[in-house]
Structure 1
Amino acid sequence: MRRWAGDLALGLRLAVSGRSSLTRFLLSAVGIAIGVAVLLVGASVGNIAHQHQVRDATTSFAANSDVPVDGVDPLYWSLDPTVFHGDRVERFYVHAAGENAPVPPGLDRVPAPGEQVVSPALADLLSSPEGELLTPRLSAEVIGTLPDSAVPEPGDLITYVGADASFVGSDGAVPTYGFDPTVRDEPLPPEMLVVLTVGVVVLLLPVFIFVSTSARVAGAERDRRLSALRLVGAGARQVRRISAAEAVVSALAGLVLGAGLFLFVRLFAEDIELSGRRVYREDVVPDPVLAVLIVLAVPGLAVATAQFAMRRTIIEPLGVVRYARPVRRRGWWRLALVTAGVAALLYSGSAGRGSDLWIALLVVGTALLLVGVPVLLPWLVERVVRRLSGGPSSWQLAIRRLQLDSGTAARVVGGVAVVLAGAIALQTILMTAETSLGDRGISSGKPSIEVLVSDESLIEPVVEDLSALPSVRGAYAVSDETAFVAGREDRPDLTQTYLSVMDCDAVRALAGATECTDGDVFARAGYEAPPAPGTSLEFRDYVDPVEGADVAVGPVGDEYEVTGTWTVPKARNLPESPNLRVGGTLIVTPGALGGVVLPDVRTMVHVDSGELTGDDVERIRNAVAAHEWRIYTYVLGDVSAGSARQAFTTVSSGLYGGAVFTLLVAGVSLLVLALEHIRERRRPLAVLVASGVPKAVLGRSLLWQVVLPILLGVVVAVVTGVGLAWLVVRSMNVSLAVDWLGVGVLSAGSVLLAVAVSALTLPFLRSATRLTSLRTE
C-alpha cells in the first residue's frame, strides 16, 4: 500500500510540476470540464421536464374535473389561442357562474369582464412598442401578473381574460368545478420514443468521446517522461500507476472546473433560448444518482483511456518504442463493432415496440454505430494516406506526417465526425417521424387565412370587417356540409359526400371559376369522383355525434334527424388550379339547393388577398378581435397543432438545440486538441523553419492534416448517419425521408468548422516555430 501511495503521489506531483506539465494539465482539465458541464446539463433534463409537467398540470384545464360538486359554482373556460408574429399566445376566457367558483392557480380571483391577468413575458410584450399590434386582441385591463408557478416556461405568453355571461352558452365553453394538479405520465408514441432514445445517445456519446480524448492530451510527451522514470528505476507496473494518477488529477480538476462552469451557466438559464425553449434557473438541478455516476465515470474513463493508450507503447529506460513506424492497424475488430451495432438494430425490429428490450437494443445499437465512427476513422485514414504521394511541398509534408502518425489527426477530427453522424441520423429520424404524424397542411399559391364563425349572426359583420382592410381583396363565407346517400345507414363512412356551399363571388375568387350563375354545381378536377347525377343525398343532424368526428358524422347506429334531401345535378368541372382553397368534393351555389334545410354547422370566412407582410396578417386578426371567443382566425402555417404534434415539436426542438450545442462542444474539443498537437510538435516544426521551410508552407501543411481526415470523416459520418436512421425507422413502419440538402449543409458546416479551427491555430504555430524553441529544448 505504501508503494502504491508513493506512486500515486508521484503521479500527482508530475501532473502539475513544471511549465510543460502544467500546460498539459490545464488543456486536459479544460477539455474534461467542458464535457462535465454538458453531462451535468444532461443530468438536469429529467428534473427540468418534471417541473415543467408539474406547472403544466397545475394550470392545465385538461386535468380539471367537470363533475358537479356540492356548494361549488362552475367556472366556465375556453382556450382561444392566437398567434403574434409566429409566437403562440395562450388566451383563456373564463367566467365565474357564482361566488364559489374555483379560481385558476396563480390568480387571486377570477377576472371580471374587461379584465385580464397575464404572464410576465406577455406583460413585457404588451408594454413594449413591439406589442402594439397585439394590443387590440388583448385590450382588457391588466390587473395582475401570473407567478412562475403558473407559467410552464419563462417566455410563455399566457393570459386569463374575463368573459361576460353570454360566454356560458357559447360553443367551447366548458364548466369546471376544481383543479387537480396531479402529474399524469402519458406514454409517448413509439415514433417519439425512438426520436428521444436515439437523440439522447446522439447528444451524450460525443461528450464521453470528448472526455476520453481530452485525457490523452500530450500523450507522446507523457510517455517520454515515463521513460525517464524507468531510467531511474521505476518498474513497468509503477509506470502505469503513475500514469493513472496523472489522469486522475486532470479528471478531478476537470470535475471541479466543470461543476463551476455548470453553476455559472445556470445563472443565465432563463436568458438562454434553444429552439424556442427556455427553462427556469431553479429547475436546472442534476439528478443526484446521475451526478454521482458522472463523478465516478469521468475519472474512471480518464484512467481507462490513459491505460488503453499505452497498450502498444513499450516504455523502456532508453526510450519509447512507439517512435518507430507504427504497426498497421487491424480493421476486423473495428468492423466487428459496427456489425454488432447493425445486428442489434436489426433485431430490435422483432422486439415489441415500446418494450424495455426494444429501447435497450436501440441504445446499444446506436451507441455501437456511433462509436464506430472514431474507431474506423484512424484505420481508414491510414489506408488512404498510404496510397498518396506527390504534390506541392505543403501537401507532401502533410501526407508524410499522416503516414507516420495518422491516429492523432484522426482523433482530432473524430469528435466532429461522430457529432456529424449523430446529427444526420437525428435529422433524418425527426423528418421521418414527422412525416408519420401526418402533413402539416396543404400548401397554396396564395396566403390561406380563414376565420371560423360559430354564431351565424356574426357572418356578415366578420365579412364587412375583413373586406374593409386595404390588404384584403375580399372575404367570402363558405359552409362545409356532409351529405349521405339516402337509405344507406349501414356504412355512412363510405357513402358520405363533402360539399362546400358558397356564392358565385366566392366560387370565382376561391375556386378559380371564370363563369358562375347561382344554381351551378362544380366538381373539383383531380379529386375523388363525385356522386353520379340523379343520386339522392340527405343531410343529417346527429343527436350526439362522437367528439372528434367529422362535422355532423356519428358512428353507425347513432340517432339522427334528416333535415332535407337533395338530388345531385350534373356538375361542371373546375379547371385545375394550385390556388384552390376549398375542400368539398362538390362546390354548390345556394340556388342549387332549392331551399333544402341544412344542419347547423359552423361557417368559415375565407380571406382573398395578395402578398401579405407579417403586420398585414396581424391587422387581419385584429379586425375581428372584437368578436372574441365567437370566432377563431386560422393562418396556414401557424395553426395550433394537436397534442401529438405539440409533443413532437417539443422533443424535436430540444434535440435540435442539443445537437447544435454538442457540435459547438466538438468544435472546442477540436481547437484544444489542435493546439496540443502543435505544442507537442514544436521542436520538429522549429527545425523545419530553421532549415528554410516557410511558415506559410507549414501552415498549409497543418491545414491539409486536418482537411483530409475531416473529408474522410464526413464520408464515414454521412454513411453511418443515414444507415443508422434507416435501421432505426424500420421499426416505425414508415418510409425513410432523407433531407439531402440538410445533410449537405451539416457536412459543409463540419468541414468549415475544421478549417476555422485550423485557422485559429496559426498564431500558435508562429510562436511554436521560433528559433528560441530549439535553444530551450
Structure 2
Amino acid sequence: MGARFAFTGGREGWVRVLLTAVGVGLGVALLLLTTALPDALAERSARDDARADHTYGQKQKPRVDDTLVIADVNTEYHGKDVRGRVMEPEGTRAPLPPGLKEFPEPGGMVVSPALGKLLASDGGRLLRERLPYRIVGTIGENGLVGSQELAYYAGARGLAAHISPPEVARIDSFGGPRPASEPWDPVLLLLVLVVFVALLMPVGVFIAAAVRFGGERRDRRLAALRLVGSDSGMTRRIAAGEALAGALLGLLLGTGFFLIGRQLAARAEIFGVSVFSSDLNPAPALALLVAVAVPAAAVLVTLLALRGVVIEPLGVVRTAKPARRRLWWRLLPPLAGLAMLYPMIGKGNDRGNFNQYLVVGGVLFLLVGITALLPWVVETVVARLNAGGPSWQLAVRRLQLSSGTAARMVNGVAVAVAGAIALQMLFSGVEGDYTESTRHDLTRAQVQVSLPSGTPVDSAARQMRATKGVRQVMAFSGASLGDRRKDPGLSTEVTVGDCAALREVATLPSCHEGDVFAVRGAEYDTDTPKLATPGRTLYFDPSYSGSTKGAEFAWSVPRTLKRARTREDPTGAERGGFLITRGALPAKAAPAFDGRLFIAVDRSVPDAREYVWNTAARIAPYSTPTTWVASEQSGRFTSIRTGLFVGATCVLALIGVSLLVSQLEQLRERKKLLSSLVAFGTRRRTLSLSVLWQTAIPIALGLLLASAVGLTLGAVLLKMVGATVSVDWASLLAMTGSGAAVVLVVTALSLPPLLRLMRPDGLRTE
C-alpha cells in the first residue's frame, strides 16, 4: 500500500516521489563517486609509475641496442605544469614510453589531448614558441595520469652529447619497482579520517532530509489512515513502503547521475587533479554497502519521524501547534563525541597513534549533534520573533508552525560548515610542521636558470636581459677548487661573475674587472682560509675517487688577492670560497664551470614569466628553469589538502542542488496557500521576501550553531595533536559566507517557480 501511495497517487504522488528520488539520487551519486576515488587515485599513481624514467643514484648505462637517451624538459605555463620529454632511441629495441605507438621523428612530438587543444587555441601562443616541434600524434590514455594533463614526447638527435643525469640520462626501460614508502605519521592519518567524516556526513544528512520530502502531507495522510482503523504497526509499514519506494528509485537515479558524471569527469580538472572515465569504478563491496545502507537509512529515518503521527493522529490532522521540543537528549550526542575525543588529547607524532574508531565516532557524534540541536534552536528563537513587516510576519508565522521542516533544510549546510571550520583550524594548526621555508629571497629574484657546461654565460645573460618583462639578471659561473689534482684534501667553491653580480653574494671593499676575492665568514667553510695563500697552486674541478673527469686545470692564487665578507645570496645561502671577476678567469678553465642565472621579473608586465621560460628554452633546451617559492609543503600534506578541496567542491555542489530541490518541494507544498494570499491582494514582492526570510532565518541560526560546534571540534583536534589553539577569523568568515552564499543563490533560483505558483489556478482542488 505504501508503494502504491508513492507510484499511483496521481500527479501529487509522482511529484513527491520524484523529488525524493532526485534528492536521494544526488547523495547516492556522490557516495558512489567517493567509493570510486581511491581506485581512481591508485590508477593515476600506477600509470605515473609505469612511465617513470628517473635515474637517481643509478650508474651510467653504456650504449647498446636497447637503450634510450631521454631528457627531462618539464615546463610551466600560466601556473600549470607541462610534462615534457625529449628522446633519441639508440637501437631497434629501445623502450617505448607507455601511450606511444612509435617514437616521434626528430623535430616531431606526440602530445596529450589537453596539450594539443591548448596549443591549437589562442591562449597557447607563448607555449607554442617554447615547443619548436610539429605535432605528429597523440599520447594514449595509458601514458597520462589524467585526462587534462599537459604532456608531450619529442624526438631529437645528438642527445647523448648532453647526458647529465638525472636531467638527461640513458635508460633501458620505463617504470620499475616502486620505492618503499615511509609510514604515515599519526597527525596525517588523523587529517585523513576527519576529512572523510566531515565530507561524508553532509551527504548522509541530505539523504535523510530527502526522504522526508512531502512530509507534512504524508503525515496527514497517515494520520487519516490511523483514524479510520489502521494500527500503529500497519501505519509504520505503509510509511516504510513509501519511503523504500522513493529510496529505491533514488538508487536508480543516483546510479544514472553517477554514470553521467563519470563521463563528464574526463572533461573536468579540480585543483590540478583530473581522471579518466574508466578510472571511476566503485569498489563492488562499497557499492553494495551504499545500495543496502541508503534504503535502510530511508526506512529508519521515516520510522523515527512517525512518533507524532502514530501517537497523536488528531494533532496532525488539526495542524495544531506541536509540543515543545526537549533539550536534554539533544545534548547527549555532542557530549558523547567530546567524551570519545578527550582521552586522545596530547597524543600525536611523539606520543603514539590515535584510536581511529574513537576519532571517527567522536567527530561523527559532534556533527550529528548539530542535526539534533538545530530544530530546538530554530523553534526556540522563532517563538520569540513577532513584530515586523508583512513579509517578516508571514515568514515567522510559517516557521513557528513548521520549524522542523526549516531546520531539516539547512541541517546539511550547518554540518558541512562545522566540518569545514574544524578542518581549517586543524590544517592551519599543523601546517607549520609540514611546511619548510626555502630561504629564497623573492625580492631579488623569482626565477633560476641553470646552464649546462660549455654554455656561454655572458651571451645567455644578454639574451635574458633583452627579454620582455625581465627587470634584472644576475649571472654566475661556479666550479670547485682543490689543493691537489686528484682526491684533494682541502676544497672550496669558486664563483665567477661581474662586480654587480658578486656584490649580491658578498660585501666587497671595492671591485674592478680582474679582481679576485677570498670570502670569509661563511658557515661550515673551514678550508678557504687555508687555501687563500697568495702564490699557492690550486686546481679547478679536481677529480675524486671513481671520477674520470680529466679536466683539472692548475691556477695560482694571485698576489693581489682581496678579502670579502659573505652575505646571503638570492637563494638564502652564504657563499664561501673565492670570488673571481670574469677578466681574472683563465680561458682554459671555462669548461669546468657551470652557469646559473638569477632573474628578477617585472610583475607589471603580463606573461613576464612565460617570456622568461621561452628565452630559457632557447638558451638551454635541456635544462628546466625553476620558479622560486617562499615555502614548500610535504607532498602528503598537500595531497590531503587537495583531496579536501576536491571533496568540498563536490559536497558544495550537492548542497546547492539539494537545497534547490528542497526549496522547490517546500514551495509545492504551499502552492494553495500562496495562491490564496495572492487572491486576497498580497503583493508578489511581499511573498517573495517572505520566502527569503523563511530561508535566511534558519540558515543564520544554523551557521551560528555550526560555528560554535566547528570551533569546539577544531579546538579539541588541535589539543589532540599538541598544537596551539588559534582561530583564523578570516577563514571562519569565508566558510560561513560560502554557506550563506549557496543559500542565497538557491533562493534566487527558486523565485521563478515561486512566481509561477502564485497563479489563481493554484486554488483548484481535484
Whether these two folds match at TM > 0.5 is: yes
How many Å separate the matches in 2 of 1:659 and 1:369?
19
Going from structure 1 to structure 2, the CA distance change for 1:682 and 1:504 (only over 3 Å counts) comes to same
1:327 alignment counterpart: 323
How many Å separate the matches in 2 of 1:563 and 1:119?
51
What letter is aligned with 1:636? Answer: W
1:558 alignment counterpart: none
Going from structure 1 to structure 2, the CA distance change for 1:38 and 1:185 (only over 3 Å counts) comes to farther
1:449 alignment counterpart: 447
How many Å separate the matches in 1 of 2:711 and 2:226?
49
3-state SS of the aligned residue for 2:275?
coil
Deviation (angstroms), 1:247: 0.2
Deviation (angstroms), 1:253: 0.9
Q: Given that residues 47 and 143 in structure 2 are in contact (C-alpha distance below 8 angstroms), is that contact kept between their aligned partners in structure 1?
A: yes
User: After alignment, is 425-434 or 656-665 more displaced?
Assistant: 425-434
Going from structure 1 to structure 2, the CA distance change for 1:606 and 1:510 (only over 3 Å counts) comes to farther
**Residue 237 in structure 1 maps to residue 233 in structure 2:** yes
1:708 alignment counterpart: 697
Deviation (angstroms), 1:612: 5.2
How many Å separate the matches in 2 of 1:731 and 1:275?
29
How many Å separate the matches in 1 of 2:63 and 2:461?
45
Going from structure 1 to structure 2, the CA distance change for 1:480 and 1:242 (only over 3 Å counts) comes to farther
**Residue 147 in structure 1 maps to residue 140 in structure 2:** yes
2:550 alignment counterpart: none
How many Å separate the matches in 2 of 1:582 and 1:70?
37
3-state SS of the aligned residue for 2:266?
helix
**Residue 285 in structure 1 maps to residue 281 in structure 2:** yes
Q: Given that residues 154 and 279 in structure 1 are in contact (C-alpha distance below 8 angstroms), is that contact kept between their aligned partners in structure 2?
A: yes
Query: Counterparts in 2 of 1:189-338, with a 5 A limit?
Result: 189-190=184-185, 192-314=188-310, 318=314, 320=316, 323-338=319-334
1:206-254 deviation digits (Å, cap 9, x = unpaired): 1111111010112121111112212332111100000000000000111
Query: Counterparts in 2 of 1:332-731, with a 5 A limit?
Result: 332-349=328-345, 358-432=355-429, 434-439=431-436, 441=438, 442=440, 444-445=442-443, 448-455=446-453, 457-478=455-476, 502-506=497-501, 581-585=570-574, 589-590=579-580, 602-611=594-603, 613-628=605-620, 630-637=622-629, 644-645=634-635, 647-686=636-675, 688-689=677-678, 693-730=682-719
User: After alignment, is 168-177 or 498-507 more displaced?
Assistant: 498-507
What letter is aligned with 1:86? Answer: G
Deviation (angstroms), 1:262: 1.7
Q: Given that residues 83 and 638 in structure 1 are in contact (C-alpha distance below 8 angstroms), is that contact kept between their aligned partners in structure 2?
A: no
Going from structure 1 to structure 2, the CA distance change for 1:304 and 1:364 (only over 3 Å counts) comes to same
1:176 alignment counterpart: 171
What letter is aligned with 2:294? Answer: V
What letter is aligned with 2:114? Answer: A
**Match of residue 107, structure 1, among 74, 81, 100:** 100
Deviation (angstroms), 1:420: 2.0
2:124 alignment counterpart: 131
What letter is aligned with 1:170? Answer: S
2:747 alignment counterpart: 758
Going from structure 1 to structure 2, the CA distance change for 1:608 and 1:764 (only over 3 Å counts) comes to closer
* TM-score (ref. length: structure 2): 0.82
3-state SS of the aligned residue for 1:306?
helix
How many Å separate the matches in 2 of 1:188 and 1:322?
63
Going from structure 1 to structure 2, the CA distance change for 1:108 and 1:671 (only over 3 Å counts) comes to closer
What letter is aligned with 2:356? Answer: I
2:549 alignment counterpart: none
Q: Given that residues 448 and 581 in structure 1 are in contact (C-alpha distance below 8 angstroms), is that contact kept between their aligned partners in structure 2?
A: no
How many Å separate the matches in 2 of 1:478 and 1:328?
78
How many Å separate the matches in 1 of 2:649 and 2:257?
19
How many Å separate the matches in 2 of 1:345 and 1:602?
56
**Residue 86 in structure 1 maps to residue 79 in structure 2:** yes
3-state SS of the aligned residue for 1:761?
helix
1:538-571 deviation digits (Å, cap 9, x = unpaired): 89989889xxxxxxxxxxxxxxxx9999999876
Going from structure 1 to structure 2, the CA distance change for 1:583 and 1:247 (only over 3 Å counts) comes to same
Deviation (angstroms), 1:409: 1.3
Deviation (angstroms), 1:299: 0.7
User: After alignment, is 253-262 or 340-349 more displaced?
Assistant: 340-349
Going from structure 1 to structure 2, the CA distance change for 1:302 and 1:217 (only over 3 Å counts) comes to same
Deviation (angstroms), 1:88: 1.2
How many Å separate the matches in 2 of 1:311 and 1:542?
88
What letter is aligned with 2:372? Answer: V
2:153 alignment counterpart: 160
1:557 alignment counterpart: none
Q: Given that residues 80 and 632 in structure 1 are in contact (C-alpha distance below 8 angstroms), is that contact kept between their aligned partners in structure 2?
A: yes
How many Å separate the matches in 2 of 1:638 and 1:86?
16
Q: Given that residues 99 and 139 in structure 2 are in contact (C-alpha distance below 8 angstroms), is that contact kept between their aligned partners in structure 1?
A: yes
How many residue pairs are counted as aligned between the two chains? 737
What letter is aligned with 1:696? Answer: R
What letter is aligned with 1:157? Answer: L
Going from structure 1 to structure 2, the CA distance change for 1:444 and 1:734 (only over 3 Å counts) comes to farther
1:665-695 deviation digits (Å, cap 9, x = unpaired): 1122222222322333445555555565544
What letter is aligned with 2:623? Answer: I
Q: Which runs of no fewer than 5 residues in structure 1 stay unpaired?
A: 1-8, 485-491, 546-561
How many Å separate the matches in 2 of 1:158 and 1:301?
45
User: After alignment, is 422-431 or 32-41 more displaced?
Assistant: 422-431
Q: Given that residues 82 and 88 in structure 1 are in contact (C-alpha distance below 8 angstroms), is that contact kept between their aligned partners in structure 2?
A: yes
How many Å separate the matches in 2 of 1:563 and 1:583?
29
What letter is aligned with 2:626? Answer: Y
How many Å separate the matches in 1 of 2:480 and 2:173?
38
1:682-738 deviation digits (Å, cap 9, x = unpaired): 455555555655443333233222212211222222333344344334455555675
1:493-541 deviation digits (Å, cap 9, x = unpaired): xxx99997643222567999998657698999xx999999x96688998
Q: Given that residues 212 and 301 in structure 1 are in contact (C-alpha distance below 8 angstroms), is that contact kept between their aligned partners in structure 2?
A: yes
Deviation (angstroms), 1:154: 1.5
Q: Given that residues 345 and 719 in structure 2 are in contact (C-alpha distance below 8 angstroms), is that contact kept between their aligned partners in structure 1?
A: yes
Deviation (angstroms), 1:40: 1.6
Deviation (angstroms), 1:200: 2.2
How many Å separate the matches in 2 of 1:711 and 1:531?
62
How many Å separate the matches in 1 of 2:582 and 2:461?
23
Deviation (angstroms), 1:656: 1.1
What letter is aligned with 1:286? Answer: P
Going from structure 1 to structure 2, the CA distance change for 1:59 and 1:373 (only over 3 Å counts) comes to same
How many Å separate the matches in 2 of 1:633 and 1:257?
50
How many Å separate the matches in 2 of 1:59 and 1:635?
25
- Measured on the aligned residues, the alpha-carbon RMSD in Å equals 4.6
Deviation (angstroms), 1:127: 4.2
1:4 alignment counterpart: none
* TM-score (ref. length: structure 1): 0.81
2:26 alignment counterpart: 34
Q: Which runs of no fewer than 5 residues in structure 2 stay unpaired?
A: 483-488, 533-537, 546-553
Deviation (angstroms), 1:91: 1.7
3-state SS of the aligned residue for 2:624?
strand
